[in-house]
A and B are shown apart, each in its own frame.
Chain A
Amino acid sequence: MLEDQDMSLQEAAAVVHEARARARRELVISAPLVYTAWGLVLLIGYGAMWLSVRGQHPYRGPSGVSIAAVFVLAGFAVAAVLVIASRAVAGIDGQSVRHRRIIIATWAIGYLILLSVQAAISGSATTRTYAFVAFAGPLLLAGLIYILASALGRNRPAFALGAWLVIVSASCAGQAPATILAACALAGGGAFLLIAVIEARLGAHDS
């Protein structure tokens, strides 16, 4: 490339456009892809659990296949997010790296607490209470994490998603297991997919 070559205005505009588009593609974690991955986990995984408990009398819990589907899908989502994130943040250091560590640590601690509570109440809680903790608990945790992430990264779509997930999961308290699973799959998974579309449109508009 020539060093200090003069550029026409049109060439300068093209350089700005191309450099910005490339930098965003290479250095920014793709929010639409991350939201889509988790949206599909909820919609398909929780949806499968919902279909397996719908109409159960008495309630016996989700089928083994549907539970396995959730774990397999979640595993794929975690792997996809890790690949996307590690590619995007290679070579980047500073405040956002520290924020990401805080978010991951909070997520891990929160999930361990959730599993502990689930184990502690498994023998004594009512079916509805146990279903609320086991099914809506992860969604509540995800909502709180997105609110934290939005505060650290000043990200409005993440705040809207987090607040919505908290509302959806909190409103599941006292509901039947099938209702909780349906709410998490449709209102939770649907919200993730909606935010993915919004983020994709915002990204296209900015570039």
Chain B
Amino acid sequence: MTAENGLDPVIHAPARLRVVVTLATLRDGDNLSFTRLQELLGLTPGNLITHLRKLEDAGYVTTVKSGSGVTSRTSVSLSEQGRQALDTYTAVLRQLLDSVSVNGTSPH
């Protein structure tokens, strides 16, 4: 894992990074249905649930289930903490990429 290079290990996994980036596109106060998120990312329901749980445990996303039976809807949104974590992640990533291009080294 990559905690030593400053990248948040919770976000620094392809599927979770895509989840967080996708949810960050929504406006503040908006949420996305689980099924639409799954369709956008092309993940299986079980896979997506696993990643969402990790992000939820870190306080980065919020999931809310409403209704019951066929009308039930699970909505997912990025928390303020998650938005800040993504901002920090992309800033650190940019710095690391810049240092790689200057020094020619490749930190993982």
Contacts and interface: CB of A to CB of B under 8 A. Distances in A.
Given A3-B13, A9-B100, A92 B32 contact: yes
A9 B26 contact: no
Contacts of A15: 14, 17-18, 21
B97 A26 contact: no
B108 A92 contact: no
A39 B75 CA distance: 36
A91 interface: yes
A94 to B, nearest CB: 4
Nearest to A11: B14
Contact of A12 (B15, B50, B93): B93
B84 interface: no
Given A27-B25, A90-B36, A95-B30, A8 B75 contact: no
B107 A9 contact: yes
A198 to B, nearest CB: 20
Interface residues of B, number: 39
A204 interface: no
Contact of A23 (B14, B17, B40): B40
B33 A91 contact: yes
A10 interface: yes
Contacts of A23: 21-22, 24-25, 40
Contacts of B100: 9
Contact of B14 (A5, A26, A93, A97): A5
B35 to A, nearest CB: 7
Contacts of A153: 27
A90 to B, nearest CB: 6
Contacts of A104: none
A10 B32 CA distance: 28
Given A13-B97, A95-B28, A19 B13 contact: no
Contact of B40 (A4, A5, A20, A22): A22
A26 B15 contact: no
A206 B97 CA distance: 19
Interface of B: 1-2, 7, 12-15, 17-18, 21-22, 24-33, 35-37, 40, 43, 47, 50-51, 75, 77, 90, 93, 96-97, 100, 106-108
Interface of A: 1-13, 15-16, 19-20, 22-24, 26-28, 90-97, 153
22 contacts: A2-B14, A4-B1, A6-B1, A6-B12, A7-B12, A7-B14, A9-B100, A12-B12, A12-B17, A12-B93, A13-B93, A16-B17, A19-B22, A20-B25, A23-B40, A27-B32, A90-B36, A92-B32, A93-B30, A94-B27, A95-B28, A96-B29
